[in-house]
Amino acid sequence: MKISNIVVLASSACLTFTTGCNTSEPTTAVLSNEYPSESDASSVDSLVVYKGWWSVALFPEAVPAGQVSDPVRIVSGSDYGYALLAPGWDATIGAPPTTLIPLRSAQKLSVGRGELLTFVVSERATLGDCKTSVPLSQDDADFITQRIFPGEFAGLVYDAANCTTSPISRAEGGAGGESGEP
């Protein structure tokens, strides 16, 4: 093979690899809490999104009802979005919420390279809030509480049918291990 052919092939390969990653805009996402806002943030009717997750990105900051998070960088793809709803929680007091409800987007959310994904949390766009939407299956709730947000549910078990959280008893695999035996 001639040197000129090798140079052309190498140049073509480099161009293919560099243009595939070259984009003028980063791929980003925002979490939009579209529950109605209450005048009093600590109202029992106030629905704050405590945290959110999509694909490989954490939305670490609480998003009050009617607000949108700051954008986070993500990768393009398609996946469900997950969030923790904190009813009646006032973020200004500095203590973590006492009640968390795991939610999942009703549909997979998709975004292309260089685009903005908006993860909407609302009665219609998410599943899991027993008061306002369809409850999660127990398998989905377990996935969210044990895999997506395990720290928030450490030592707790979540009942998806009733949207309630309770401490793990020894018989459920607490301190004594899987079987509950010491």
CATH (domain of 41): 2.60.40
How many independent structural domains does the chain possess? 1
pTM: 0.78
Residue 40 counted as domain residue? yes
List pLDDT tens digits, range 113-134: 999 999 999 999 999 999 877 8
Q: Does the residue 55 lie in any domain?
A: yes
Percent of the residues in the chain that have a pLDDT greater than 70, as a whole number: 76
- Across the range 125-154, mean pLDDT stands at 94
For residues 90-109, give the mean pLDDT. Answer: 93
In a domain, 59, yes or no: yes
Q: What average pLDDT does range 153-177 have in this prediction? A: 79
Domain presence at residue 178: no
- Does residue 162 lie within any of the structural domains? no
Q: Is residue 16 part of a domain?
A: no
The 3-state secondary structure of 122-160, one letter per residue: CCCCEECCCCCCCCCCHHHHHHHHHHHCCHHHCCEEEEC
Question: Measured between alpha carbons, how far is 121 from 83 in angstroms, rounded to an integer?
Answer: 8
Q: What is the mean pLDDT of residues 149-172?
A: 89
Kind and range of the H or E element at 167? Answer: strand 164-167
Residue 134 lies in a domain: no
Domain ranges, residue 71: 23-126
pLDDT at 91: 85
Q: What is the pLDDT of residue 173?
A: 52
